[in-house]
């Protein structure tokens, strides 16, 4: 298929673009490089530097869009909520308008577990309440609402994938954020010597070891779900799927895995809680397993951290 990948110079977008090219699709990447890297665009994909609000000829002849381009820092979204509404909701609306003008009726949307906020139960299912606790999650949820509306009223075919904690690397494609907030890359930066220690944000949560529990999913497994989602698009329907491994690991446990993989002692320093962090976030991915036949193939933490470390350290 002829496909447009917005945000395909970013972490998840570049891995999905690479898998799409490998599967024989004709891929155009549209990215403004505000946070992405041009050299993350896979060989074999056409690159257009530009903004989703003005896709220009990037949509010409395209049959479906995979939409990743977004702002994704929770802390920044609390400081600058307008930026998140403008980029994430405004950007998606502009993109959907351009798609309608060019009769592109299919979209896979990169959504997030942040739409659920503080969960009432674990693991979280897609039908559970969506009560985001920050503007990032709220802006992504708003796009989901738009997609449901457009599916019903305009016949759009849409699939939203709600990611839990994406980690690992796909070959050389890895997480490379200018501002790194995520746990695993920050822990590995201690092993490379870029940081002296890692901060543990709170040890007084109601969890077995007092640190937050998260559901880490390998970026290659996550990316593969996008190819299945693409095949599952049905005009007039908006399908929503969670994507995680279904098992939670604590901050302390993940630091321990990183110590084992890197052989570095990785000093940790206990700090205060990070505002807005729920104690436990674990996905039920039963729906995507049942309906699309997806399952995690690289679900072990050793593989996830090992691949992230391999891409970072060149080992």
Residues near ligand UDP, by CB under 6 A: 165, 181-183, 186, 198-201, 212, 214, 251, 274, 277
**Minimum gap (Å) between residue 29 Cβ and ligand UDP:** 24
**Minimum gap (Å) between residue 52 Cβ and ligand UDP:** 23
**Minimum gap (Å) between residue 183 Cβ and ligand UDP:** 4
Residue 129 three-state SS: coil
User: How many residues appear in the chain?
Assistant: 315
Question: For residue 134, which phi and psi values (nearest 5 degrees)?
Answer: -150, 160
Helix axes 183-191, 301-313, angle to 10 degrees: 50
Question: For residue 281, which phi and psi values (nearest 5 degrees)?
Answer: -135, 105
Q: Shortest Cβ contact with ligand UDP: which residue?
A: 212
**Minimum gap (Å) between residue 128 Cβ and ligand UDP:** 17
Closest to ligand UDP by CB, 141 or 198: 198
Name the catalytic one among 11, 136, 150, 205. 136
Closest to ligand UDP by CB, 160 or 165: 165
Closest to ligand UDP by CB, 16 or 114: 114
Distances (CA, A) of 139 to 55, 117, 146, 305: 21, 13, 11, 30
Helices (H), the chain: 11-22, 74-79, 81-84, 91-101, 135-154, 183-191, 219-232, 251-262, 286-292, 301-313
**Minimum gap (Å) between residue 217 Cβ and ligand UDP:** 11
Closest to ligand UDP by CB, 212 or 288: 212
Between CA 40 and CA 11 the distance in angstroms is 8
Between CA 160 and CA 91 the distance in angstroms is 16
Residues in Cβ contact with 69 at an 8 Å cutoff, skipping those fewer than 6 apart: 6, 7, 10, 13, 30, 31, 32, 52, 91
Q: What is the DSSP letter of 107?
A: E
Answer whether 62's CB lies under 8 Å from 2's CB: yes
**Minimum gap (Å) between residue 31 Cβ and ligand UDP:** 22
84 tagged catalytic: no
Extract the tokens encoding 10.
């970013």
Active-site residues, by number, are 136
């Amino acid at each position: 298929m002829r496909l447009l990948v917005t945000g395909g110079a970013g972490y998840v977008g570049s891995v999905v673009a690479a898998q799409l090219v490998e599967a024989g699709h004709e891929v155009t990447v549209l990215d403004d490089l505000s946070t992405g890297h041009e050299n993350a665009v896979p060989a074999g994909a056409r690159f257009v530097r530009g903004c989703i609000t003005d896709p220009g000829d990037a949509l010409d002849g395209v049959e479906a869009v995979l939409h990743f381009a977004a702002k994704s820092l929770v802390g920044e979204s609390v400081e600058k909520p307008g930026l998140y509404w403008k980029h994430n909701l405004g950007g998606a609306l502009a993109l959907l308008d351009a798609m309608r003008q060019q009769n592109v009726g299919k979209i896979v949307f990169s959504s997030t577990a942040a739409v659920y906020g503080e969960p009432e139960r674990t693991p979280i299912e897609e039908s559970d309440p969506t009560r985001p606790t920050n503007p990032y999650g709220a802006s992504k949820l708003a796009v989901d609402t738009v997609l449901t509306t457009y599916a019903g009223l305009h016949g759009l075919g849409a699939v939203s994938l709600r990611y839990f904690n994406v980690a690992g690397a796909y070959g050389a494609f890895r997480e490379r954020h200018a501002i790194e907030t995520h746990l695993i890359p920050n822990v590995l930066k201690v092993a490379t010597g870029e940081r002296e220690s890692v901060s543990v944000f709170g040890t007084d949560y109601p969890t077995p070891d007092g640190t937050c529990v998260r559901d880490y999913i390998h970026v290659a497994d996550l990316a593969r779900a996008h190819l299945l989602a693409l095949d599952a698009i049905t005009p007039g329907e908006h399908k929503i799927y969670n994507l995680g491994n279904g098992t939670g690991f604590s901050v302390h446990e993940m630091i321990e895995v990183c110590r084992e993989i890197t052989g570095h002692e990785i000093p940790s320093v206990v700090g205060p809680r990070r505002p807005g962090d729920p104690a436990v976030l674990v996905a039920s991915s039963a729906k995507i397993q049942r309906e699309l036949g997806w399952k995690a193939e690289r679900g072990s933490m050793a593989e996830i951290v090992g691949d992230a470390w391999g891409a970072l350290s060149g080992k």
